[in-house]
Structure 1
Amino acid sequence: MGCKAAGAARIIGVDINKNKFAKAKELGATECIDPQDHKKPIHEVINEMADGGVDFSFEVVGLRDTLMSALLCCHEACGTSVVVGVAPGSDTLSVNPLVLLTGRTWTGGIFGGYKSKDSVPKLVADFMAKKYSFDALISHVMPFEKINEGFDLLRSGKSIRTVLTF
């Protein structure tokens, strides 16, 4: 949704759960691919699809392999990879400096780069003015007592976002 709102013409979604592809396309993805459908690493597939790499990638899983794939699918001279997924605290990355030296940028995007004190009131005002709708992201609504069921839905890949009511 954010990429579409920012004016991206081509948005490639990557997931191993093909059941999420329809929702991704509904929300703005122009293409969806499953790494398991390819014999070569997914960053190589994306680089071929995007004539040498994408302008921006967003890693939202928080795994070492996906962090590196997101960086490596960026265009060497000018691509930016944004880390959103939270990796386990014990994970470390070993990166060949040449991957960055050629011109790629690797940055974090916790909270979307917003400054909470200034930006949250604006985001809330925009939401209340119906500038944004997040309804399409809510796949389940259940009472708080079913929180464990909500986690089961998340782990099984059957939930996008579950809202718990009190």
Structure 2
Amino acid sequence: MSSTAGQVIRCKAAVAWEAGKPLVIEEVEVAPPQVDEVRIRILYTALCHTDVFFWEAKGQNPLFPRILGHEAGGIVESVGEGVKDLKPGDHVLPVFTGECGECAHCKSEESNLCDLLRINTDRGVMLSDGKSRFSINGKPIYHFLGTSSFSEYTVVHIGCVVKINPLAPLDKVCILSCGISTGLGATLNVAKPKKGSTVAVFGLGAVGLAAVEGARISGASRIIAKKFGVTEFVNPKDHKKPIQEVIADMTDGGVDRSLECTGNVEAMISAFECVHDGWGLAVIVGVPQKDAVFKTQPVNFLNGRTLKGTFFGNYKPRSDLPSVVEKYMNKELEVEKFITHQVPFAEINKAFEYMLKGEGLRCVIRLDEE
């Protein structure tokens, strides 16, 4: 048992006090974990576009002050009542969505949408008692996505904590807890391209390039996007006709599989309409605006095209992510190429600058300065 178990821990955290303003490194108090909770010492965290989206608070409910962050790796410091599967010292990834293991979704082989722990962007407190585990001078600081990894210590529900191989380098595999696994799983678990097939990927951020990585692992013969093993790149601005028609012409009627990773509804339509009739499958990965409407001619379905959606690459966090880490450990999955920058915790705002300027994919933030 750690010497701090059961006690309030004082540590550093990057607090977002208001929308769009630089984060401030503050000393916060982190309460002990309660029933079905785990307190984790975060060693490395990364900045995802979702953090930036809610930091800017454009188009959603602003909830401040808040500790953002949800891609991370760390070590269990202590566990709360009822936690049996984890112990202090375990290496873990906290994840923004969970797996309770008891609901209909968790028991189904076809879903990873846990009833209890699926993503909730508005909730800033813990499930067990509706309270925050973070505070400054007695004032509560809100959680983010149940993870809040921009803190040296955080408290997470057991269903959102993934135990991984202790030999896996946390400064690399921390990025597997969100975007990279989402794109990778969308290809491997949903699109499932066969060896030698053709794949088109719309959107080349971290998620899209992870989808490309999945196509590479699957042995696709043609990957139409931009880089990371891609064989061809198509820029819609270079063509007068719809991009789906361009891709169909390039591939003798359409690609076998496509993945849309932008959240733009027009790109979603293009991704669906560029797959081959009879067997083509398109997968929607990007999150659209809530009022967006998808329009296509019904004959596209009647002609044998399939449209699917996916959440977190259809991975059940606790059950499946350890195997994704092992893919990296076995050199089947390349992770380093997604990490374009690293900064110390004191310079966390630089990570926001890199993403806002479009200068990188993932910036890893080092909280362990020892």
The reply to whether residue 2 of structure 1 matches residue 214 of structure 2 is: yes
Structure 2 CA distance, aligned partners of 1:101 and 1:44? 19
The reply to whether residue 33 of structure 1 matches residue 245 of structure 2 is: no
TM-score (ref. length: structure 2): 0.40
- Whether contact under 8 Å (2:269, 2:295) holds in the other structure is no
Of 313, 332, 335 in structure 2, the residue corresponding to residue 112 of structure 1 is 313
What do the CA deviations read for 1:79-130 (whole angstroms, capped 9, x no partner)?
1001111112232223322221211111113222223232112222332343
Secondary structure of the structure 1 residue equivalent to 2:233? strand
Alignment correspondent of 2:245: 44
Of 273, 282, 290 in structure 2, the residue corresponding to residue 72 of structure 1 is 273
- Whether contact under 8 Å (2:328, 2:334) holds in the other structure is yes
Kindly tell me: are residues 155 and 74 of structure 1, through their superposed partners in 2, closer, same or farther at Cα, counting changes over 3 Å? farther
Secondary structure of the structure 2 residue equivalent to 1:163? strand
Kindly tell me: are residues 101 and 127 of structure 1, through their superposed partners in 2, closer, same or farther at Cα, counting changes over 3 Å? same
Q: Which amino acid aligns with 2:219?
A: G
Listed as ranges, the gaps of 5+ residues in structure 1 are 14-20
Listed as ranges, the gaps of 5+ residues in structure 2 are 1-212
Residues 98-107 or 147-156, more deviating = 147-156
Alignment correspondent of 1:152: 353
Q: CA deviation at 1:164?
A: 2.2
Q: CA deviation at 1:145?
A: 4.3
TM-score (ref. length: structure 1): 0.83
What do the CA deviations read for 1:14-42 (whole angstroms, capped 9, x no partner)?
xxxxxxx4xx1xx2100112111111111
Structure 2 CA distance, aligned partners of 1:94 and 1:146? 44
Secondary structure of the structure 2 residue equivalent to 1:61? coil
Q: Which amino acid aligns with 1:12?
A: I
Kindly tell me: are residues 114 and 46 of structure 1, through their superposed partners in 2, closer, same or farther at Cα, counting changes over 3 Å? same
Structure 2 CA distance, aligned partners of 1:94 and 1:123? 35
Alignment correspondent of 2:331: 130
Structure 1 CA distance, aligned partners of 2:287 and 2:346? 27
Q: Which amino acid aligns with 1:90?
A: D
Q: Number of aligned residue pairs: give it.
A: 155
Secondary structure of the structure 1 residue equivalent to 2:334? coil
Of 327, 333, 340 in structure 2, the residue corresponding to residue 139 of structure 1 is 340
- Whether contact under 8 Å (2:217, 2:332) holds in the other structure is no
Alignment correspondent of 2:285: 84
Alignment correspondent of 1:18: none
The reply to whether residue 98 of structure 1 matches residue 299 of structure 2 is: yes
Alignment correspondent of 2:144: none
Q: Which amino acid aligns with 1:37?
A: D
Q: CA deviation at 1:143?
A: 2.9
Q: Which amino acid aligns with 1:44?
A: E
Q: CA deviation at 1:141?
A: 1.4
Structure 1 CA distance, aligned partners of 2:353 and 2:302? 42
Structure 1 CA distance, aligned partners of 2:352 and 2:266? 24
> Radius of gyration: which is bigger?
2
Kindly tell me: are residues 144 and 91 of structure 1, through their superposed partners in 2, closer, same or farther at Cα, counting changes over 3 Å? farther
Q: CA deviation at 1:9?
A: 0.4
Alignment correspondent of 2:93: none
Secondary structure of the structure 1 residue equivalent to 2:326? helix
Q: CA deviation at 1:59?
A: 0.4
Structure 1 CA distance, aligned partners of 2:320 and 2:348? 30
Name the structure with the higher strand share.
Answer: 2
